[in-house]
Amino acid sequence: MQFNQSLKNYNTFGISVNAAAFVDITSVDQLKQVIQQNNNKLPLFILSGGSNMLLTKDVDALVLHLNTKGIEVVNEDHDFVWIQAQAGEIWHDFVLNTVDKNLGGLENLSLIPGKVGSSPIQNIGAYGVEIKDTFHSLTALNLETLEIETFSNIDCEFGYRESVFKNKLKDKYIITSVTFKLKKAPHILHTSYGAIQQELDLMNVSNPTIKDVSYAVIAIRQSKLPDPKEIGNSGSFFKNPVIDKNFYHSLLEKNPDIPHYPVNDSQVKVPAGWLIEQAGLKGYRKGDAGVHTKQALVLVNYGNATGEELINLAKYVQATVLQKFGIEINPEVNII
């Protein structure tokens, strides 16, 4: 156990704050032991990849850095393979592992930062796919009983960037592994969302495989999204707002090129990045806190921004979009 540990290298925004205590967790048994030894002396803070959070102050807690590893096939039939990954596996590495095995379902989620254990918490998604589409189950440590429990897809109550672990079960469990049900060939590809088909055309691919789709997604993300190793960020900072279809049609009168994606018969989803860019904030910067120059959905730390400065920037972006479009956009990242 380390004390007064800097978390600058453990969060992708690169915010310089300290943890009261810090332990690198490499097994479930160790996780249980550390929690028992702590005996509620310090509150617990679960740290995975640090990619979906904005730290605004020192963490007065015992930080448990989940670094467990392991990927294995746990079941298989004629059409599907059930594959389990430990919580500490890097998400993108896991996706590439499934693509290399020619198992379809996660290829659209290539290059999303973070680790496997945090992926169900906000039901991560991109390019028309969410993990709920292939999620089978997860195991999680009950922090009250220290027993491992299993949650099914239904148990997780997935929604748009939501799950039961962000709401009524928040801070009550630590996810230890996740199992996905992935498709053997022939695969069902999702190439109509965003610029995937356009990228495949540029690649001169007319009959794409899941590896082609993964390559296309990676190319798109790399062209638009900054590498956290080069400039601090957490990927998409805001959720894409879901609005009433009638309200959307009223917006079309003044904004005929506003994009949308149908959600159901009465609602549509509008890209938050488009709203921010049209509000004139793409590339906006105040000190070391800024809106990325290539993708307005991403807030960045140009070097020494504090969490508070990034929060103030986010509030300014929200207020500007609300004033221009009458649409409220909300953060996707956890603000701590």
The model carries a pTM of 0.83
Q: How far is CA 84 from CA 19, 72, 94, 167, in A?
A: 31, 5, 10, 25
**Domains parsed from the chain with CATH numbers:** 2-66 (3.30.43.10), 71-183 (3.30.465.10), 232-335 (3.90.78.10)
- Compute the residue count for the chain: 336
**Cβ atoms of residues 92 and 116 within 8 Å:** no
CA distance 148 to 127: 33
CA distance 141 to 150: 9
Per-residue pLDDT of the chain (336 residues; tens, 9 = 90+): 899 999 999 999 999 999 999 999 999 999 999 999 998 899 999 988 888 889 999 999 999 999 999 999 999 999 999 999 999 999 999 999 999 999 999 999 999 988 999 999 989 998 889 999 999 999 999 999 999 999 999 999 999 889 999 889 998 999 999 999 999 999 999 998 778 999 999 999 989 999 999 999 999 988 888 888 889 998 889 999 999 999 999 998 888 999 888 888 899 999 999 999 999 999 999 999 999 998 999 999 999 999 999 999 999 999 999 999 999 999 988 898
Amino acid, res. 307? G
User: Residues with Cβ < 8 Å from 9, sequence gap 6 or more?
Assistant: none
**Cβ atoms of residues 112 and 98 within 8 Å:** no
Residues annotated as catalytic (active site), given as ranges: 161, 236, 332
